[in-house]
Chain A
Amino acid sequence: MIRTEELLLNVGPQHPSTHGVFRIIVKLDGEIITEATPVMGYLHRGTEKLAEQLNFTQIIPYTDRMDYVSAMTNNYVLVHAVEKLMGIEVPERAEFLRLIVMELQRVASHLVWWGTYLLDIGALSPFLYAFNDRERILQLFNELCGARLTYNYMRVGGVKWDAPEGWIDKVKEFVRSMHGKLAEYDKLASGNEILLSRLKGVGAYDAETAIAYGLSGANLRSAGVKWDLRKNEPYSLYDRFEFDVPVGTNGDCYDRYLIRLEEIRQSLRILEQALEQFPAGGETMGKVPRVIRPPAGEIYVRIESPRGEIGCYLVSKGKAEPYRLKFRRPSFVNLQILPKLLVGESMTNLVTILGGIDIVLGEVDC
């Protein structure tokens, strides 16, 4: 019988398929992984510590830089926490704008995932398609708030910029054309034989494991748990719109793939309804005191980011700065299951499984 010697392999921190600076120390027996130890913190900037010396408007740009692929939802979770603790009413037009940008952001984020994931497992061209369409969303954002990635768009009580003339029509046009693009994506990749054999049955877990590990987003739903905060604990205006929550059955990478693509469709559905109901006029900022000073108390709010449940735990002592601000980052929590999933898998599946979790390192390290 052929025996192989145990091999210690260092993956990352600078490796394209880790989607940032992330390191995994892998013990290999031949091609089979026997142990995997994730090492992180390379991107730790101490956002939570910095926030303790800043007022809330100053913290918003820092949230952009946590999950830089989905900055809008990060903006929202912070301002939402402050608004809820202070009991600030947000004007309807502002809330509509927030919802529209958050759903556009979800589409953009899933497109990044789709493109890079297929790139990870060896398909080059989908990346170009995905980034082409994502670029149109970034241009829409650029027109709205003058930034492509780190928007700093939301404020406690509303949004910084109203939609410029004709912007809503441009979003409508984008949504219309995006439906056709999705059909193209499916034709391009989804039924591909190689893709199926790379993804089906890989990195599978059951619902119980997913819940125990606190997974959220598509990672949780792929195991068949129908849990989407937009539906189950509605925030913003999500209870006004009709949409479905796609769930998987096998909890494998292919289910996660299909769910994320379907989520783009559902986001487009929400966008269509929201754009239809978008109020013609109105304020974009609510009544907010000059100094934002939440009353003493604490609050935990959570919303559905493209990656799962992003939460903000805010402890206020009645000052203009938070006493303690803790972000529950979905990437960080979801990544915990990685060492468990990798054991017994072949080395080729490492990238498939890691990519399937959909992490952003800025958020893991915070």
Chain B
Amino acid sequence: MSGDDRRDGGKPETANEEKLWMGSGESPGTAGAEASGSASGEAPGTAGAEASGTSSAEASGTVSGEAPGTAGAEASGTVSGEASGTVEAPAAPADGTKAQPSVRRPETDEEKAARRKAALEAREAAKAAAAQGAARPAAAPGAAGGAASAAGEAAAPKPPSPNQPLLDRVVQLLRELAGEDAVEEASINEPNDHLPTLVVKAERWPACAKLLRSHPELNLNYLRNVAGVDQETHMEVVYHLLSLDSGRNYAVKVRTDRDRPQVPSVTPIWPTANWNEREIYDLLGIDFPGHPDLRRIMMPDDWVGHPLRKDYVPLDPEV
């Protein structure tokens, strides 16, 4: 439903609609509700549509405002095939200001105007909150540009994670043996079982990978997963590593430029990276120099573009 709706709006003919296709990254804070707005667009859900941030969706809000308005939660609940009113009605309005009584009744002009004003204020507040959020230590650097990643270094005064010694040790090893500048960032991912997470410089990555694989203290012989992420400011390849002997887990990230993304291949070190890297190349367009056979793996060979990129626009909108 949401997908269909997006496709309708996503024909890249007008600039506004193209923005809609490009996704929710544009307007922090409100974008969550934005998608629910487009999801509920089929049913006359004004509350959801109101929440969207782009101007094109604003217009659709006005259009559907004429129809009797139901609360966003209920409308999208119907769309997703759930019985409406159940706990997991997936997309409720973003915050209290937008919650409307779910009684169906025609709205007066004043009410509509008041609600629009309230939504506008909520958007402003969310924007301000997002701007503040960039200043405090964020778990996901790059969300608000470089500021967040710099702030991430300043750790909050919390009891140290049980895996902190592991992290310190691996950072020390990599800095000693692979170069002083090898590790750009190091943190503990707390919700993920205190997973030690490193950000490694792309040029140093082959040396670091060899160390991680074969250093007797680490012996990370099992590459669980390789994932590529388009962070919009840069590209990121995330490796989840495991030592089957000690049972220890690490995550390593390598960042690369978005225009000419390149990360040295680790297929010679972990053969399992082979198809994973091909998949990332196929879907995100990241080049892996040193890969023995870098071809598309999922999409047809003559496909244009890399679908998982956030700015991907299909060559043929009919597809």
Interface residues of A (CB under 8 A from B): 40-41, 44, 46, 48-50, 52-58, 84-85, 87, 155-157, 211-214, 225, 227, 232-233, 285, 288, 290-293, 295-302, 309, 311, 313, 315-321, 323-324, 326, 328, 332-333, 335-336, 365-366
Contacts and interface: CB of A to CB of B under 8 A. Distances in A.
B307 A46 contact: yes
Contact of A54 (B2, B25, B138, B307): B2
Nearest to A296: B140
Given A57-B80, A285-B88, 14 more contacts: A46-B307, A55-B90, A155-B88, A212-B270, A214-B271, A290-B89, A292-B88, A297-B140, A297-B189, A302-B225, A315-B229, A320-B33, A333-B276, A336-B271
A291 B48 CA distance: 13
B87 A285 contact: yes
A288 B140 CA distance: 23
Given A58-B2, A292-B90, A365 B298 contact: yes
The 4 nearest A-B residue pairs measured at CB? A214-B272, A57-B90, A326-B227, A319-B32
A313 B225 contact: yes
Contacts of A336: 271-272, 274-275
B32 A291 contact: yes
A134 B289 CA distance: 47
Contact of A321 (B32, B244, B299): B32
A366 B3 CA distance: 17
Interface in B113-146: 138-140, 143
B198 interface: no
B94 A291 contact: yes
Interface in B61-115: 73, 80, 82, 87-92, 94
B244 A211 contact: yes
Contacts of B283: 48-49
Contact of B140 (A52, A232, A317, A332): A317
B229 A324 contact: yes
Contact of B88 (A52, A57, A299, A311): A57
Given A319-B24, A324-B229, A156 B244 contact: no
B300 interface: yes
Contacts of B297: 40-41
B195 interface: yes
B160 interface: no
Residue of A232, A302, A333 with highest tally of chain B CB at under 10 A: A333
Interface string B178-212: 00000000000101100100000000000000000
21 contacts: A40-B298, A55-B35, A56-B90, A57-B80, A57-B88, A214-B270, A232-B247, A291-B91, A297-B191, A298-B189, A302-B224, A302-B225, A309-B224, A315-B229, A317-B140, A317-B143, A318-B32, A320-B33, A320-B90, A326-B229, A336-B271
Interface string B271-304: 1101110010001000000000000111110000
B50 to A, nearest CB: 15
B132 to A, nearest CB: 13
B52 interface: no
Contact of B308 (A49, A290, A309): A49
A299 B307 contact: no
Interface of B: 2-3, 6, 23-25, 31-33, 35-36, 39, 73, 80, 82, 87-92, 94, 138-140, 143, 189, 191-192, 195, 221-225, 227-230, 238, 240, 244, 247, 251, 270-272, 274-276, 279, 283, 296-300, 307-308
B88 A288 contact: yes
B2 A53 contact: yes
Contact of A320 (B23, B36, B140, B191): B36
B244 A227 contact: yes
A210 to B, nearest CB: 10
Contacts of A366: 298
A298 B35 contact: no
A33 B300 CA distance: 26
B28 to A, nearest CB: 8
B2 A299 contact: no
Contacts of A57: 80, 82, 88, 90
Given A227-B244, A311-B224, A320 B91 contact: yes
A155 B89 CA distance: 11
Nearest to B225: A328
Contacts of B225: 300, 302, 311, 313, 326, 328
Nearest to A332: B275
B252 to A, nearest CB: 12
Nearest to A302: B224
A46 B271 CA distance: 25
A313 B227 CA distance: 8
Contacts of B139: 295-298
A336 B140 CA distance: 32
B191 A85 contact: yes
B101 to A, nearest CB: 15
Contacts of B90: 55-58, 291-292, 320
B272 A333 contact: yes
Contact of A53 (B6, B192, B300): B6
Contact of B195 (A291, A300, A324): A300
B309 to A, nearest CB: 10
A155 B80 CA distance: 13
